[in-house]
Amino acid sequence: MKQAIFQRIFLGIVMITAVIILNFFLLHAAPGDVVDAMLAEGGGGDPELAARLRASYGLDEATHIQLIKYLGQVFRGDLGYSFYYDQSVTELLLGHLPTTLMLTISALILAVVFGTLFGVYAALKPKGIFSNFVTVLSLFGYATPVFWLGMIILLVFALYLPLFPAFGIRSLPEPEHAVGRILDIIHHLVLPTFTLAILYLASYSRISRASMLDVLGSDYIRTARAKGLSETKVIFKHSLKNAAMPVVTLAGLQLAQVFSGAILVETVFSLPGVGPLLYESIVRRDFPVILGVLFGAASTTIIANIITDLIYKYMDPRIQSIT
Amino acid sequence: MDDSLETKEDAVLRVMNLSVDFDVKGNNVSILSKVNFGLGLGETLGIVGESGCGKSMTALALLRMVPSPPGKISDGEVLLNNLDLMTLSQKEIKKIRGKEISMIFQEPMTSLNPVFTVGNQLVETILEHKDLSRADALKEAIELLRLVQIPAPEQRIKEYPHQLSGGMRQRIMIAMALVCEPKVLIADEPTTALDVTVQAQIFDLLKEIQAKTQMSIILITHDFGAITEMADRVIVMYAGYKVEEGTLDEIRNSPLHPYTQGLLRSMLVIKPDSSGFKMPLPEIPGSVPDLLNRQPGCPFGPRCSQATVKCRSMPPNFNLGFKRSVKCWLVDNGRVE
Amino acid sequence: MTQPNKPNSDQIFSSEEITSEPDVKWQDTFHLFCANRAALLGLTFVCLFVLVGIFGPIVIPADPFEMVAMPLMSPNGQTLFGSDYLGRDVFVGIIHGARPTMIIAVTATLVTVLIGITIGAIAGFYGGMVDNVLMRITEFFQVLPPLVFAMVIVAVFSSHIVVVILAIAITTWPTEARLTRAEFLKIKENEYVTASRAIGDRNFRIITKIILPNAMPPLMIAITLRVGITVIYEAALSFLGLTDPDVITWGKMIGQSRDFFFEAWWTVTFPGVAILLVVLCIALIGDGLNDAFNPKLRGR
């Protein structure tokens, strides 16, 4: 078990290194370098100054030496400097990632919990109305672009029925009490989280219905019934855990996708997350930030994958003994 | 006179006219047709037949566990000490399951929940039926494992099903079935998935426990070898009908129904002849009838080598003595069960 | 005991069965699919969409970039779906947007599937070290959030339509690769594969002629659903403005109206409904295929 965890962490570090290497080459492929960006912010400069600056940044060295230096730099937590924001990329990321992560994780948890419950309930009456509802919901969940859904939800719940704020994450002026401030943030996050969650909820409910139907037909459920257990116990103890497993696996695998969805949702709801940062940086062609976001997003996914792996191992004892 | 219908004081379980129907795409298909039998105290009754003959469905129907929809018990009474299980409420029947009547299944590999420990699943059964503390239930679980001869039960109880062998898991299933010292144990193909040596061990264990507790066993199998090993009396089933009933000796030595005769012939001892080739086993020509398109008349008729014109109408169960009956026109003695 | 030299009758007679067994029952599948009303409805609508993509711009030759009305006019007789902030006709935009949407979705899916199936097939067929390396690479591509990675690619290189298509393919192939690999691992254990190995078939032939056709049912479902996902993916990139400036797409129409949709709901609603309808119909086809290939699992 311990060995498996270490192996998993080692693989994670290798992956992160690979992301850094990819970043390095993308940075090289990008038009212009740090010096160009610097000089552009300063309103242009002469070639001699540029050459001197390049030498001081080590940009005239061989590619592999630059790569090694870059790796060392990133592992020390230095992702470069944004001349547009006049801030280090690491600071920028640390400022924007939490919002995106909060959105991603709360949406995923909502989707997994309610998706599983919907699916389980639908499986109890596979031909009932609710089961059909799950089918239709999952079709719409598959077919609806998340950014468009966000806009429609904004139109309905912020414009026509002004129940929720339309933009941002805080009211101005902010409430005075700490509790008030937290409630205010939650109030702002309701619509974006709901937008992101509902699409995944839709697909998870269908998956959990299928796995619940499988589980309900299994031999161990027959055993549980033959032992005289109550139906509540049969469903909530013996079926739920087994039926939830495929959903948890899928949620782990889809984390990177949900992160992508969160970026779109943030753009629609103007949340100060990674989405608008990335969008703005692309418009400004601020490559250190763009690649920093890619690095941040990938490392978060890698770490989250390790965590879901561990959760999965905890849930299913069969896996523990194999690895 | 109807001997087999007469109530005997030793009859723990009496099944009368038990019928199960399935709804297959709007058609009503009869899976089990008016099955009668009795089970005495400490007796082992074997139910034998090909797959699809309704033997497993009989077991499920006794505990009202027929998958519904599409199935439903359309008729019949199941009397457990004069209590009709068919008229009980859901809550009451749950108290019978696992307490008065227990069941073990064919697939020990999949019959235990993979994500809970053996102990957890045993303790939960004990707590469901007995008013005990968790610690006492755990002690009792260990005792039960000892009873089914599992070595180092204190260790095993913490393990997950996948860590145990098939024979071990079937022992756990038996332990779980014995929690409340049930009056009846239904064993549905309990050894089919196990190695031959393990099979013998499981049967020995069941016999030992039966000798101790006077429990009655219904053994459901397609394997006549298992029947010879365990059963006192035998019911042969075909296409949802009981076609022959008798003691083990009667069925083995003087089978009367052509289907029983065929079944016995197909499992004769194989003797290699001098050339070294195996003699092909005689088989019953044809296959189990399609229950959706039943022909009128004897269900075995189309496969029967001794069929006559008479077989175009359904034979009744002819009664040949105490708990001895045959559903075939060949033995027509006018005494209908 | 059986004599060792005596050929076993099973081996003599079963070889023909072996080659005939693996064939997927295409005819049954076709009939089942045709009996599925929802799937046929989906197919009809998708065909309609393709016709609009081909003939729409010919029937309605108006330039979608041209300003034809007052800005932000609500739907009326002149502009069926209203006008956007520059006074461009939303309806004309939707008609003209069908073609690029269709072209990008189909080509990007083809490239995705080509990469995915090739890598998955090689990994699944050869196994061992090859499989190990290819799967690590696949995992690597799976930890990069697809949209972010695609945005980076488009930002670094260019927003030319070819780059957009490649960006979509590069960021989404792992799903198909994993599916293909799983199918290959399953199918290569079958006797008919061993049989064709035994008669000396070359690996390439076994992969393409023996295993792949039998892996088709799940792959066909996945490919169908992939087209729908790609439509939405492309729309998301266009929504963020990461697309060829010279073509009009539905996602771009929504993206450009982002700052005005509180005043003019029609500017985002109609293009969005267009995306929703097309993808929904693709989903119906996918569901229909699923039911037709696995009739026992209907309704899951």
Structure-token pair, residue A122: 């639908």
What is the distance in angstroms between the CA of the first residue and the CA of the last residue of chain A? 7
Identify whether the C-beta of residue A8 lies closer than 8 Å to the C-beta of residue A311.
no
Q: Give me the residue label for tokens 């920028």.
A: A92
Q: Which residues in chain B are closer than 8 Å to A244, comparing Cβ atoms? A: none
State whether C2 and B276 contact (CB < 8 Å). Answer: yes
CA dihedral sign, ordered B20, B24, B26, B29: negative
Rg (CA), chain C: 24
In chain C, which residue's Cα lies nearest the Cα of A298?
Answer: C144
Structure-token pair, residue B129: 């039926």
The domain locations on chain A are 101-286
CA neighbor of C236 nearest in space, from C206, C194, C271, C264: C271
d(CA A272, CA A97): 9
Closest Cβ opposite residue A294 in set C144, C284, C299: C144
Chain A interface mutation, best of B111, B113, B180, B189, highest count of A Cβ atoms under 10 Å: B113
d(CA B245, CA B188): 19
Q: How many other CB atoms are there within 10 angstroms of residue A35's CB atom?
A: 19
- In a structure prediction context, what are the per-residue pLDDT tens digits for chain C, which is 300 residues long? 333 443 333 333 333 334 434 456 677 777 777 778 888 888 888 888 888 888 877 877 777 777 776 776 777 767 777 777 777 777 878 888 888 888 898 999 999 999 999 999 999 988 889 999 999 999 899 888 889 899 989 888 888 889 999 999 999 999 899 999 988 888 888 878 888 877 877 888 888 888 888 888 888 888 999 999 999 999 999 998 888 888 888 988 888 888 888 787 888 888 999 999 999 999 999 888 888 887 666 555
Which uninterrupted H or E stretch holds A246?
helix A240-253
User: Which value does ipTM take for this structure?
Assistant: 0.85
Chain B interface mutation, best of C2, C8, C296, highest count of B Cβ atoms under 10 Å: C2
d(CA B234, CA A281): 82
> Is residue B191 within 8 angstroms of chain A, CB to CB?
no
> Is residue C9 within 8 angstroms of chain B, CB to CB?
no
Establish if B238 belongs to a structural domain: yes
Output b/e per residue, B216-233; b: 16+ Cβ within 10 A: bbbbbbbbbebbebbbeb
| Dihedral over alpha carbons A22, A26, A29, A34 (to 10 degrees) | -120
Establish if B148 belongs to a structural domain: no
Q: Which residues in chain C are closer than 8 Å to B277, comparing Cβ atoms? A: 2
Establish if B324 belongs to a structural domain: yes
Which residues span the domain enclosing B75?
11-100+180-332
Touching A (3+ Cβ pairs <8 A), the chains are B, C
3-state secondary structure (DSSP) of residue B174: helix
Number of domains in chain B: 1
Establish if B155 belongs to a structural domain: no
State whether A166 and C262 contact (CB < 8 Å). Answer: yes
Q: What is the pLDDT of residue C25?
A: 67
Residue C200 contacts by C-beta under 8 Å, 6 or more apart in sequence?
none
Phi/psi for B43 (5° steps) reads -95, 150
Identify whether the C-beta of residue A243 lies closer than 8 Å to the C-beta of residue A281.
no
3-state secondary structure (DSSP) of residue A55: helix
State whether C2 and B272 contact (CB < 8 Å). Answer: no
DSSP string, B22-76: EEETTEEEEEEEEEEEEEETT-EEEEE--TTSSHHHHHHHHTT---TTTEEEEEE
Q: How many other CB atoms are there within 10 angstroms of residue A21's CB atom?
A: 14
State whether B65 and A219 contact (CB < 8 Å). Answer: no
Q: Which residues in chain B are closer than 8 Å to A219, comparing Cβ atoms? A: 105, 107, 110-111
- The DSSP code for B281 is P
In chain A, which residue's Cα lies nearest the Cα of B92?
Answer: A228
Chain B interface mutation, best of A219, A223, A314, highest count of B Cβ atoms under 10 Å: A223
Identify whether the C-beta of residue C108 lies closer than 8 Å to the C-beta of residue C237.
no
State whether B114 and A237 contact (CB < 8 Å). Answer: no
Q: Which positions in chain A have a beta carbon within 8 angstroms of at least one beta carbon in chain B?
A: 218-220, 222-230, 233, 237-238, 241-242, 315-318, 321
The nearest CA of chain B is from the CA of A210 a distance in Å of: 18
* Size of the A and B interface in Cβ pairs below 8 Å: 78
Position C112: which residue type? Answer: T
The nearest CA of chain A is from the CA of B152 a distance in Å of: 20
**CATH code of residue B184:** 3.40.50.300
Which uninterrupted H or E stretch holds C243?
none
User: Which residues 77-116 on chain A approach chain C with CB closer than 8 angstroms?
Assistant: none
The nearest CA of chain B is from the CA of A9 a distance in Å of: 25
d(CA C85, CA C254): 11
d(CA C292, CA C42): 15
Establish if B67 belongs to a structural domain: yes
State whether A260 and C142 contact (CB < 8 Å). Answer: no
Closest Cβ opposite residue A143 in set C151, C283, C297: C283
Q: Quick one: B146 exposed, middle or buried, by C-beta within 10 A (0-12, 13-18, 19+)?
A: middle
Identify whether the C-beta of residue A301 lies closer than 8 Å to the C-beta of residue C141.
no
Closest Cβ opposite residue B99 in set A218, A228, A238: A228
Identify whether the C-beta of residue B214 lies closer than 8 Å to the C-beta of residue B41.
yes
Residue A243 has pLDDT above 50, yes or no: yes
Q: Which residues in chain B are closer than 8 Å to C3, comparing Cβ atoms? A: 276
d(CA B137, CA B175): 13
Establish if B314 belongs to a structural domain: yes
Domains along chain C?
Answer: 24-69+80-297 (1.10.3720.10)
Identify whether the C-beta of residue B31 lies closer than 8 Å to the C-beta of residue B20.
yes
- Strands B101-104 and B318-321, how do they pair? unpaired
Q: What is the pLDDT of residue C109?
A: 94
Establish if B232 belongs to a structural domain: yes
Residue A275 contacts by C-beta under 8 Å, 6 or more apart in sequence?
A100, A262, A263, A264, A265, A266, A267
Establish if B87 belongs to a structural domain: yes
State whether C283 and A146 contact (CB < 8 Å). Answer: no
Residue B135 contacts by C-beta under 8 Å, 6 or more apart in sequence?
none
Closest Cβ opposite residue A223 in set B96, B105, B163: B105
d(CA C9, CA C170): 52
The nearest CA of chain C is from the CA of A296 a distance in Å of: 10
| CA distances to A155, C22, C273 from C269, in Å | 10, 48, 6
Touching B (3+ Cβ pairs <8 A), the chains are A, C
Chain B interface mutation, best of A1, A220, A238, highest count of B Cβ atoms under 10 Å: A220
In chain A, which residue's Cα lies nearest the Cα of C235?
Answer: A145
pTM, 2 dp: 0.78
Long-range contacts, A148-151 (Cβ 8 Å, 24+): A148/C235, A148/C254, A148/C268, A148/C272, A148/C275, A148/C276, A149/A195, A149/A198, A149/A199, A150/A191, A150/A192, A150/A195, A150/A264, A150/A265, A150/A268, A150/A269, A151/A268, A151/C254, A151/C258, A151/C261, A151/C268, A151/C272
The nearest CA of chain C is from the CA of A257 a distance in Å of: 6
The nearest CA of chain C is from the CA of A183 a distance in Å of: 26
Name the CATH architecture for the domain at A101-286: Orthogonal Bundle (1.10)
- In a structure prediction context, what are the per-residue pLDDT tens digits for chain B, which is 337 residues long? 344 444 444 578 888 888 888 877 777 788 888 888 888 888 888 898 887 788 888 888 888 888 776 778 878 888 888 788 888 888 888 888 888 888 888 777 788 888 888 888 888 888 888 888 888 888 888 888 888 788 888 888 888 888 888 888 888 888 888 888 888 888 888 877 777 777 888 888 888 888 888 888 888 888 888 888 888 888 888 888 888 888 888 888 888 888 888 888 776 554 445 454 555 566 776 666 666 666 777 877 777 777 777 777 788 888 777 778 888 787 776 667 6
Structure-token pair, residue C223: 């490919």
